[in-house]
Chain A
């Protein structure tokens, strides 16, 4: 794995620390009791649900561990994790069944 230089890492840590606090403080600190435009809230509502899958999708289709070759075990594990999460609404149940599927298939397919 390539080495990341220390200055960059510290820059990212400090930048993220300040940025994350600013995001959290933005409304409760600055806005106080004033109302916010509905269109803004409407977009903010879908950030997590859009960005997290967007980050994961390429890692599922082209996994780094197999040098970008699509991999049955990883695809199946992703599908099971998502399905169990949708059905049970439980993050833990989804993680355990997803990991179980991954290890089971990696073992079976060698």
Chain B
């Protein structure tokens, strides 16, 4: 298919990003419900979703807040969950780094799993794309989910208090996160990282302030990086 203008790349991104609505809407709704049950009001919940714009980090913060974790640890843990967007930022940089600063700032705000995944596939598939075409594609890929993410959060916040205990929503977060983890296991190193992180998390449950999460995360990252080095050496 011969498409050349930035505008047509915007729409191509839009189409490629559209299916993610089916993940973002339930996830956003769940966040709204969860946040309402934690005692946040609608303004706080909407501000949370619209400014932080990172579901996993938002859930982590709420979960830890409910466990009376000190504020600094809540922030550090939620940002640690979000460290992957720094990695996205890093790997998008060769493709988008030459754009004007205001465009890069907008792109930074909109760097999420979905826009990153779509864009990397597209940029690698068509290396001859121009910078404006790439930016148009990137913005296109997040356009379907951005407004719906905030709207879904609102919906969840409104529904929140009406949901009975028998729905076992306490377990919606584990199921959603575990479902995200399965498809991430692309290599043995990813599996090693996850297993080490789980083992350390279980062993450090008694550590105060929920610091176990940060310890386990760091241990998992180091294990994954180390496993990757060892696998490469074996290949060479």
The chain A residues found within 8 Å of chain B, CB to CB, are: 1-4, 6, 8-17, 19-21, 23-29, 31-33, 36, 39, 41-65, 74, 77-78, 81-92, 94-95, 98-99, 102-103, 106
Q: List 16 A-B contacts (CB under 8 A).
A: A2-B66, A4-B66, A12-B65, A12-B71, A20-B54, A27-B92, A28-B111, A42-B228, A45-B225, A49-B181, A49-B224, A51-B81, A53-B201, A54-B213, A56-B178, A78-B174
**Across the interface, do A52 and B40 meet the contact criterion of CB distance under 8 Å?**
no
Q: CB < 8 Å: which of B97, B111, B202 contacts A57?
A: B202
Q: CB < 8 Å: which of A24, A78, A92, A98 contacts B88?
A: A24
Q: Which residues of A contact B105 (CB under 8 A)?
A: 25, 29
Distance from A3 Cβ to chain B, minimum over Cβ atoms (Å): 5
Closest B residue to A66 by beta carbon equals B170
Bound-state CA distance A99–B30 (Å) is: 13
Q: Interface SS of chain B: helix, strand, loop or mixed?
A: helix
CB-CB under 8 A for A83 and B171, given A36-B90, A47-B87, A48-B84: no
Distance from A103 Cβ to chain B, minimum over Cβ atoms (Å): 7
Q: Which residues, 208 to 227 on B, are CB-close (under 8 Å) to A?
A: 212-213, 216-225
Q: Interface SS of chain A: helix, strand, loop or mixed?
A: helix
Q: Which residues of B contact A44 (CB under 8 A)?
A: 83-84, 86-87, 90, 221
Bound-state CA distance A36–B60 (Å) is: 28
Q: Which residues, 186 to 214 on B, are CB-close (under 8 Å) to A?
A: 189-190, 193-194, 196-198, 200-202, 205, 212-213
**Across the interface, do A29 and B83 meet the contact criterion of CB distance under 8 Å?**
no
Bound-state CA distance A32–B94 (Å) is: 8
Bound-state CA distance A2–B109 (Å) is: 32
**Across the interface, do B74 and A4 meet the contact criterion of CB distance under 8 Å?**
no
**Across the interface, do B180 and A52 meet the contact criterion of CB distance under 8 Å?**
yes
Bound-state CA distance A88–B37 (Å) is: 32
Q: Which residues of B contact A102 (CB under 8 A)?
A: 168, 171, 175
